[in-house]
Chain A
């Protein structure tokens, strides 16, 4: 009798659909993953995890590690990490991933000789493998698109949902668009490159592009023309010469942003044209990056320029700032993020944090429900 029950149970296991993809975690906890040692057969070497995107269709994070070698990696919600492949540039200085909203990741990356190249990676294969054979991935190649910009360093990239194009900003203040369908790069305009912030964001209703430059004032690209707005990001008195933004995110007709010189979080209301300084989350001197959940909570990472010591904070209208503490994890390895570089939200309030220090390590922060 006992034997029969056992057989029945086993058969049920294989026949019924199983809900994969939900991490067994305690909310509010942080998990650490050094990419070299947590990935089987990883070729990822040391480097900085500078950019992360999230694929809504498969609930998978993709990240970029730059260094002597540059790799794209995959992180799924069950903490599976895979090395997607090598991006064929040497000694990359900066690189950014952007999701085209459909089936591709675009990787814009600058190598050691300041040449910026465009690569794409199609997600179809990984998505199919994910749905059929959970945990076992094969990947499409990371393709070089034969487009390069010499002596220009990539500063910021984003997808403009209004026209469907990828926009990017370089250290010279040049703004380009890239069409993945036509594989075409188009020069659009130029902003003042003095003290240029490495940020860009879009108004999805009219396609206007926003950024920050010239001692912290906003610029707007509208109909291929640049306007410098009389609106400044917040900074301490007489420190506008170093005013730089860490990120800008469009959310419900507002731009939320953060600063690198005084660690301010701010809100720019497009309609009334005013910037509101929301304050400073902790004693660190830089807010490196922020991301926003659908419920309006803003999560961000802070650190000080040289000392580092990454912390996480949460901001909401209802509760103001909440300090979530230093980025320290005990599982699967005991690790710290002293120099966090970016944070990206995924499904159900989990965040992936990329770290610097030439370490190639990432952190998963699982936020508690509101």
Chain B
């Protein structure tokens, strides 16, 4: 029987979205609390101590970046999928845009991009050291653009990151210097970068086409493989949004617009791709679960003991179906098991990324609640 616990991020009473969550080797869980829908809002880096079960604010991104709250520019309102812990427990991150400037009503990336007064000044790259409780800003690394996703390749000691809105792939060193722009790699956004056992980093573009970064050679390879997408379209808006590398050397992935969990394996002959099918047994007659696993998409993948735990996320649709349905896939046996829907009394959160805590619990943070919460599930 699973136990669900909810930790409301009370220090961020007006924050509305948490896209990123990361766990460092010392056990701390870090959450990027964003103010995506509040004009002028500023993101906050939050730390959760799994021993004391306490949440605390680490840093306000306006203070970190030295930007003035409430000026005409689009603020440092988000920390997207950019939290990167090192082996030593130091946390790196970047800021992201799409929060409208104060007094504006909505974020319009292309209008704002060319407007000198309202534009986002750029993503800042920062480092938090929990030993000294010290945060250091390395300045703007991508002018006028946010960092939508970032990964640290500890072997080459370089970061790889994609920007929004232009979807350029960048790389910089651990001090945010020696910045290299590989050019644009996707039509629109990138949501996931996965380090594989061959030392390469894999991601997809907007159409789910697989692209590989070789950090040794600092080269990109555009593979002739398109990951799975619904039959009714050509794969548009279908990034690999979540992924984990299993012990069996398959990459298990959740696509943005595809209902089933998939897996793929880069080999010398090419890329093998497998559809793992409906997330529940086909004999399951439950109406809500059938809706969730045919209309939703897998998110928040976590690997624990050779089992993939994931959320079947139903974002749109009738209210009774919307929610985060926790399920599992055993990589050894292929057994699928529905566990439970995330819930606190009547509140059903929508969660995005997940991590495995050092206490063995599964953690997710929600992206559609004010204030947001951290959710824990013990199995």
Contact B236 A308 (CB under 8 A): no
Contact A46 B166 (CB under 8 A): no
Contact B183 A307 (CB under 8 A): no
Chain A residue nearest to B235 in the complex (CB): A333
Chain B nearest Cβ from A294, distance in angstroms: 32
For the complex, what is the distance from the CA of A308 to the CA of B109, rounded to whole Å?
Answer: 13
Contact A334 B206 (CB under 8 A): yes
Asked whether A192 is an interface residue with its Cβ less than 8 Å from the other chain, the reply is no
Asked whether A304 is an interface residue with its Cβ less than 8 Å from the other chain, the reply is yes
Of residues 320 through 362 on chain A, the ones whose CB sits less than 8 Å from some CB of chain B are: 326, 328, 332-336, 338, 357-359, 361
Asked whether B11 is an interface residue with its Cβ less than 8 Å from the other chain, the reply is no
Contact B187 A336 (CB under 8 A): yes
Chain B nearest Cβ from A45, distance in angstroms: 8
**List of A residues within 8 angstroms of B209 by Cβ:** 37
Contact B183 A46 (CB under 8 A): yes
Asked whether A29 is an interface residue with its Cβ less than 8 Å from the other chain, the reply is no
**List of B residues within 8 angstroms of A36 by Cβ:** 222
**List of A residues within 8 angstroms of B185 by Cβ:** 359
Given the contacts A36-B222, A37-B209, A46-B220, A309 and B110 also touching, CB distance less than 8 Å: yes
**List of B residues within 8 angstroms of A304 by Cβ:** 114
Chain B 78-94 per-residue mask, 1 if CB under 8 angstroms from chain A, else 0: 00000000000000000
Asked whether A15 is an interface residue with its Cβ less than 8 Å from the other chain, the reply is no
Contact A334 B183 (CB under 8 A): no
Asked whether A163 is an interface residue with its Cβ less than 8 Å from the other chain, the reply is no
Chain B 180-194 per-residue mask, 1 if CB under 8 angstroms from chain A, else 0: 011111011000000
For the complex, what is the distance from the CA of A333 to the CA of B236, rounded to whole Å?
Answer: 8
Chain A residue nearest to B144 in the complex (CB): A307
Contact A359 B184 (CB under 8 A): yes
Of residues 97 through 115 on chain B, the ones whose CB sits less than 8 Å from some CB of chain A are: 110, 113-114
Asked whether B168 is an interface residue with its Cβ less than 8 Å from the other chain, the reply is yes
Contact B110 A326 (CB under 8 A): yes
**List of A residues within 8 angstroms of B30 by Cβ:** none
For the complex, what is the distance from the CA of A358 to the CA of B167, rounded to whole Å?
Answer: 12
Contact A334 B168 (CB under 8 A): no
Chain A nearest Cβ from B165, distance in angstroms: 8
Asked whether A283 is an interface residue with its Cβ less than 8 Å from the other chain, the reply is yes
For the complex, what is the distance from the CA of A336 to the CA of B145, rounded to whole Å?
Answer: 15
How extensive is the interface on chain A, given as a class? Answer: 20 to 34
The answer, among A45, A46, A335, A358, for a CB contact under 8 Å with B187, is A335
**List of A residues within 8 angstroms of B230 by Cβ:** none
For the complex, what is the distance from the CA of A37 to the CA of B206, rounded to whole Å?
Answer: 12
Chain B nearest Cβ from A332, distance in angstroms: 8
Contact B187 A334 (CB under 8 A): yes
The answer, among B166, B182, B188, B237, for a CB contact under 8 Å with A308, is B166
Asked whether B143 is an interface residue with its Cβ less than 8 Å from the other chain, the reply is yes
Contact A338 B184 (CB under 8 A): yes
**List of A residues within 8 angstroms of B19 by Cβ:** none
For the complex, what is the distance from the CA of A306 to the CA of B121, rounded to whole Å?
Answer: 13
**List of A residues within 8 angstroms of B220 by Cβ:** 46
Contact B114 A284 (CB under 8 A): yes
Asked whether B207 is an interface residue with its Cβ less than 8 Å from the other chain, the reply is yes
Chain B nearest Cβ from A40, distance in angstroms: 11
For the complex, what is the distance from the CA of A32 to the CA of B113, rounded to whole Å?
Answer: 21
Chain B residue nearest to A36 in the complex (CB): B222
Of residues 212 through 249 on chain B, the ones whose CB sits less than 8 Å from some CB of chain A are: 220, 222, 234, 236-237
Contact A338 B166 (CB under 8 A): yes
For the complex, what is the distance from the CA of A121 to the CA of B206, rounded to whole Å?
Answer: 35
For the complex, what is the distance from the CA of A36 to the CA of B144, rounded to whole Å?
Answer: 28
For the complex, what is the distance from the CA of A284 to the CA of B234, rounded to whole Å?
Answer: 34
Contact B184 A358 (CB under 8 A): yes
Contact A333 B187 (CB under 8 A): yes
Chain B residue nearest to A328 in the complex (CB): B110
Chain B 159-185 per-residue mask, 1 if CB under 8 angstroms from chain A, else 0: 000000110100000000000011111
Chain A residue nearest to B209 in the complex (CB): A37
Chain A nearest Cβ from B79, distance in angstroms: 23
Contact B114 A309 (CB under 8 A): yes
Contact B114 A359 (CB under 8 A): no
Chain B nearest Cβ from A338, distance in angstroms: 5
Contact B207 A357 (CB under 8 A): no
**List of A residues within 8 angstroms of B168 by Cβ:** 357
Chain A nearest Cβ from B174, distance in angstroms: 25
**List of A residues within 8 angstroms of B206 by Cβ:** 333-334
Contact A357 B114 (CB under 8 A): no
**List of A residues within 8 angstroms of B237 by Cβ:** 334
Contact A307 B184 (CB under 8 A): no
Binding site for B on A (CB under 8 A): 32, 34, 36-37, 45-46, 283-284, 304, 306-309, 326, 328, 332-336, 338, 357-359, 361
Pairs A–B under 8 Å by Cβ, sample size 5: A46-B220, A307-B114, A309-B113, A338-B166, A361-B184
11 additional contacts, CB 8 Å, given A307-B144, A333-B206, A336-B165? A34-B187, A46-B220, A307-B114, A309-B110, A309-B113, A336-B166, A338-B184, A357-B184, A358-B181, A358-B183, A358-B184
Binding site for A on B (CB under 8 A): 110, 113-114, 143-144, 165-166, 168, 181-185, 187-188, 206-207, 209, 220, 222, 234, 236-237
- Can you list the 8 inter-chain pairs with the closest CB atoms, starting with the nearest? A358-B183, A357-B184, A359-B184, A335-B187, A357-B183, A334-B187, A309-B114, A338-B166
